[in-house]
Amino acid sequence: MAASNMKVGDRVEVYQPGHASTGPYFPATVIRSPAKMKGNVILYYVEYGIRSSSPDHDHPLRETVNADNVRPAPPLLPAEQRVLKTGDDVEFFFRNRWFRGVVESMNEWSMYTVRMHDSTRQMVCRHHNLRLHREWNNIGRGWNPPLPNKYFHLLPSTTPFPLLTASVTNEINY
């Protein structure tokens, strides 16, 4: 997954080791040029779109992360390009991060029921907080599945953050 060609200002997503192997991914921005450490380990200093949880610090959360845990933020396609159906492998935005899941159903108000990947938990999500799951290939510098041809010009640094409204997704409790 290593994203070794990121530069200051690029929007990225950071996987935190210790979570499930399929994410979640946290939206962030590279704020310092990458540093190379012993053993050719590349580190990025990133800033997340969330505030520090410490009452003594009122600033965005920042940290140094290993490039192996960083990928470019996928381009946000227009709504008409994000047609989803039952069974689609998706990512949904909830609590300031992207989780992987599978579309279970959709209702007439464009609300989707998504089952979390490797879990029985379900979430109800609005269409604008969903995207088709894609894997980043650092060697080929592309997404799998590939983007539609007319979106190949979108670079990682031009990708907008998702709507940061955690209230639009609700957990279903059984």
Residue 12 phi/psi, 5-degree rounding, is: -135, 175
CA torsion angle 101 130 158 48 (round to 10)? -70
| Shared-domain flag, residues 93 and 130 | yes
The CATH code of the domain that includes 115 is 2.30.30.140
For residue 23, give both structure tokens: 């994410």
| Shared-domain flag, residues 68 and 92 | no
For 18-36, write each residue's pLDDT tens digit. Answer: 766 567 999 999 999 888 8
For 78-109, write each residue's pLDDT tens digit. Answer: 766 677 899 999 999 998 899 999 999 998 88
| Shared-domain flag, residues 15 and 61 | yes
Range of the domain at 43: 10-72
| Shared-domain flag, residues 109 and 165 | yes
| Shared-domain flag, residues 27 and 107 | no
This prediction's pTM: 0.76
